[in-house]
Structures are given as structure tokens and as C-alpha cells.
């Protein structure tokens, strides 16, 4: 017997984009409606693929007040699935803790898990049967391990639906913490997880699979790249297969643009416009738009002209004309070049420091600084400059110290 599910989590419906508040008025409506449009795409996919069920592992809504627009859009999605004969299973998370009233308007094909763990045995029209266990967050902050409440109760394929933090991932609130071993011990076939916004898959020692699909639609620059759900196939005697499917209608990307060799702000603007065009041109889906964060890298004298106000102008200039992309920000990571070789000609301490400075500036990882003798001579050189050397505990710190030492020498030669 084979079953196919669409697994979604962290829809955060009607979530505003972070970092675009200033330019929201300039944006085409698709940017403000991205999270809702992504849900529409997920439902289109579920219907087209004729999946056996849709599993939703919490954080349907972004805010506790559950905007009416989000609720109506969610209801519309459920009604379409219902009309297509597809059951939906829902467990709530920390952004949308369980409220009995919320599910009242939903169609009868929606199975909502309450704040007490339970199992639902579900039979499809053709007689195939599977079990879904789940539990919803009763309030936002759940500190107990909910995974230990789950365990296999029958031979039918069994799925666990849970919003939780596996392995206590940092960057996410440590709610319903549990371990991969806890998940394996329950001997379920598949764990449909929610909470962690990056996609993760954990093959379990029990033979099962636990997975986070990641969120349905990226919401800021730290959620870049494709976002969507998992198409899960459960077949007898095999580990489940979970295949990512992108549903995001607006994709966040962080773009590195090297400005070495560019000699004017206009040239920088052109480089950014060109990079944005290449992103759009490489996207096969004409409906997908982008939010870009540019990071200017490299080393060029033009850095001196790239003041914060100029960076904002670059940002707005690009966004104004955009239909398929907008710019969240233009960030300066590039450095002013230092006249190192000329400095070295002078000999003495400066010449001694130049190779270090080059290493620090040209090799960000500073592998060259790992060698012991070189390290000692740098510390000695810095000591002669009367810089505090006690804190030189890592290659990165040494690189930064070398950079400062060189700046000092440039500004105030010995």
C-alpha cells in the first residue's frame, strides 16, 4: 500500500515582510499577498497531485489576533481541499495556539488536534487506512517534551503531527523540545514537524523519517531561497520519501556583488541592476518575484563614496522600477584598498606587517596566519606598536588586529 501526503508547516499567513516596511507603498500587491498566494499554490498542487491528505504542523497564522484576511484565505483553502475530497490534519503551534472557536467554521474533512494528544484513524474511500497522532500547543510557550506522548498503536501507516524543536535548534524558540531519539522511540512511520523554518530531514533508527518542510514563504532576508512543502510518499517496508516542492511566490535572496574595478556610483548601480536582471532571467516561473538583499564585496576606492544615504538611493532607485523584484537593502561589505605594496617599499616594521595585512585582507579565512612562527612574529610586531596582544586568541582576531595595525601605520607612519 502506498500513501501520498502534502506536508506543510509555518504558513504564517498574512505575515508582513520584515525589512520592507519603508518601501511597502511602492510595491506591487503581490509582495503584500505572498504568504496567501503561496498557500493557494500549495492547494493547487495537492489537488493536481491528488494527494491522500494534507498535513499542517502549526503556525498557520502569524499573529495571535489572526487577521481576518488570513482566516478567510485559510478557510477558502480548506474548502477547496474539501471539495476535492482531500482531508486536512492540523496541529497548532506557538504562533497560533489552539482555540476551540477557530476550527468551528472549517469543513468536516478537517481534523484539528486539541491540546491533549490523540490519534485519529482515517479511512480513504478506497479502503486504505492510516493513523495520524497529534497535539496542539494550548498556549504559545510550551516547555514540555510533547514527542514522548506519541507511540505506535497499530500496524497501519502512522504519522505524528507536531510543532516542536528537535535538537534544541538555536534561532528558534525552544518550545516543545525533543530529540531525534525521542522521535525514533515512538516507532511512527513519518513525523510531520513544524517550527524550524529551514527544511530538515532526519532518517530515524526505527526506519521512519522525521522532517521539517521549512516555512511556506520566506519572510525576511534570513529566510532566503526556495520555500514550500514536502510531498511525502509512504510505501510498505520502505523509509518514507519526502520531496521538497517550492510554493513561494516571492523569493528572498542575498546577492554578493563584487565592486572591484568599479569607479563610479553609477557603475555600482548598473552592476546591481544587471545582477537583479540575471536573477529574474534565470527564474523559469514567470509568476515568481524576488526580494533582494545586495551585499557589496571586494575592495575599491569607490567605497569612500558609498555613504549610507547613497546606499538608500541605490535601493529605492532599483525598487521604483521593479515589477519582478524589489531591493530590501544594499549593504556595504567592501573595503577601501590600502596602498600596501607602496608601504612595503619603506622597509622596517611597516614592511614586516604588509604580508600579514595582505593575508588578512585578501584571505578572509586567514589560513596563512595559522602557522606558529608567523603568528609569533605578528604578535611581536603588534607588541612593538603597543597594541594589546593578549586578546589575540584566534586567526580572525589576529586578522582584525593586523588590519587595524596597518590602518594605524597608514594614518600615522612611525
Question: Which residues sit at the interface with Mn ion, rule CB under 5 A?
Answer: 10, 59
Identify the sign of the CA torsion 130, 135, 136, 140: negative
Q: Are strands 158-163 and 250-258 parallel, antiparallel or unpaired?
A: unpaired
- Per the structure block, which three cell numbers stand in for 381? 610586531
Rounded CA-CA distance 244/86 in Å is 20
CA 73, CA 247: separation in Å to the nearest integer? 16
Closest CB to Mn ion among residues 213, 359: 213
Q: Which residues are registered as beta bridge partners of 209?
A: 190, 203
Closer by beta carbon to Mn ion, 10 or else 52: 10
Write the DSSP symbol of residue 244: E
DSSP 338: P
Q: Cα–Cα distance between 159 and 210 in angstroms, integer?
A: 10
Distance between CA 156 and CA 412 in Å, rounded?
77
Instruction: Considering the complex, state which of residue 11 and residue 354 has its C-beta at the smaller distance from Mn ion.
Output: 11
CA distance 244 to 213: 7
Least distance CB 93 / Mn ion (angstroms): 6
As measured in angstroms, the least distance from the Cβ of 229 to Mn ion is 14
Q: Shortest approach of Mn ion to residue 197 CB, angstroms? A: 6
| C-alpha separations of 130 from 53, 109, 147, 153, 169 in Å | 10, 15, 19, 11, 30
- Residue 10 or 182 having the CB closest to Mn ion: 10
Nearer to Mn ion, 218 or 395 (CB): 218
- Nearer CB in complex with Mn ion: 56/398: 56
Residue 59 or 248: the one with the smaller Cβ distance to Mn ion is 59
Minimum CB distance to Mn ion, residue 243 (Å): 22
The CB-of-58 to Mn ion minimum distance in angstroms stands at 7
Taking the alpha carbons of 229, 215, 188, 136 in that order, is the dihedral positive or negative?
negative
Shortest reach from residue 199's CB to Mn ion, in Å = 13
Q: 59 vs 223, which CB is nearer to Mn ion?
A: 59
CB 172 → Mn ion: shortest distance, Å?
8
Who contacts 343 (Cβ-Cβ below 8 Å, separation ≥6)?
A: 350, 351, 354, 406, 409, 410
Cα–Cα distance between 269 and 311 in angstroms, integer?
Answer: 10
User: How far apart are CB 286 and Mn ion at their closest, in Å?
Assistant: 29
Amino acid at each position: 500500500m502506498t500513501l501520498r501526503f502534502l506536508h506543510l508547516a509555518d504558513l504564517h499567513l498574512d505575515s508582513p515582510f520584515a525589512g520592507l516596511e519603508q518601501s511597502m507603498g511602492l510595491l506591487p500587491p503581490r509582495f503584500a499577498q505572498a504568504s496567501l498566494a503561496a498557500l493557494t499554490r500549495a492547494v493547487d498542487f495537492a489537488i493536481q497531485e491528488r494527494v491522500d491528505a494534507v498535513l499542517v504542523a502549526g503556525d498557520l497564522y502569524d499573529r495571535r489576533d489572526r487577521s481576518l484576511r488570513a482566516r478567510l484565505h485559510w478557510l477558502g483553502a480548506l474548502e477547496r481541499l474539501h471539495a476535492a475530497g482531500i482531508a486536512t490534519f492540523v496541529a497548532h503551534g506557538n504562533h497560533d495556539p489552539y482555540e476551540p472557536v477557530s476550527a468551528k467554521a472549517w469543513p468536516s474533512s478537517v481534523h484539528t488536534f486539541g491540546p491533549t494528544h490523540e490519534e485519529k484513524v482515517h479511512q480513504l474511500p478506497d479502503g486504505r487506512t492510516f493513523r495520524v497522532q497529534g497535539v496542539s500547543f494550548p498556549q504559545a510557550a510550551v516547555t514540555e517534551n510533547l514527542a514522548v506522548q506519541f507511540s505506535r498503536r497499530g500496524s497501519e501507516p502512522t504519522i505524528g503531527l507536531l510543532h516542536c524543536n528537535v535538537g534544541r535548534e538555536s534561532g528558534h524558540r525552544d518550545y516543545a523540545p525533543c530529540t531525534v531519539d525521542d522521535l525514533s522511540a515512538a516507532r511512527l512511520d513519518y513525523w510531520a514537524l513544524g517550527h524550524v523554518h529551514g527544511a530538515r530531514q532526519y532518517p530515524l533508527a526505527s526506519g521512519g523519517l522525521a522532517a521539517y518542510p521549512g516555512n511556506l514563504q520566506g519572510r525576511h532576508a534570513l529566510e532566503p531561497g526556495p520555500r514550500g512543502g514536502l510531498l511525502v510518499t509512504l510505501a510498505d517496508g520502505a523509509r518514507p520519501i519526502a520531496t521538497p516542492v517550492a510554493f513561494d511566490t516571492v523569493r528572498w535572496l542575498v546577492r554578493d556583488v563584487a565592486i572591484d574595478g568599479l569607479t563610479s556610483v553609477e557603475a555600482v548601480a548598473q552592476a546591481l541592476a544587471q545582477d537583479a536582471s540575471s536573477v529574474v532571467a534565470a527564474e523559469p516561473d514567470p509568476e515568481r518575484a524576488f526580494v533582494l538583499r545586495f551585499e557589496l564585496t571586494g575592495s575599491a576606492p569607490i567605497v569612500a563614496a558609498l555613504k549610507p544615504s547613497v546606499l538608500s538611493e541605490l535601493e529605492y532607485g532599483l525598487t521604483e522600477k521593479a515589477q519582478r523584484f524589489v531591493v530590501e537593502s544594499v549593504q556595504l561589505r567592501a573595503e577601501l584598498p590600502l596602498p600596501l605594496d607602496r608601504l612595503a617599499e619603506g622597509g622596517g616594521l611597516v614592511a614586516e606587517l604588509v604580508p600579514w595585512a595582505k593575508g588578512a585582507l585578501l584571505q578572509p579565512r586567514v589560513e596563512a596566519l595559522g602557522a606558529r612562527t608567523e603568528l609569533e612574529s605578528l604578535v611581536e610586531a603588534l607588541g612593538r606598536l603597543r597594541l594589546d596582544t593578549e586578546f589575540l586568541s584566534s586567526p580572525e582576531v589576529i586578522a582584525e588586529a593586523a588590519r587595524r595595525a596597518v590602518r594605524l601605520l597608514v594614518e600615522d607612519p612611525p
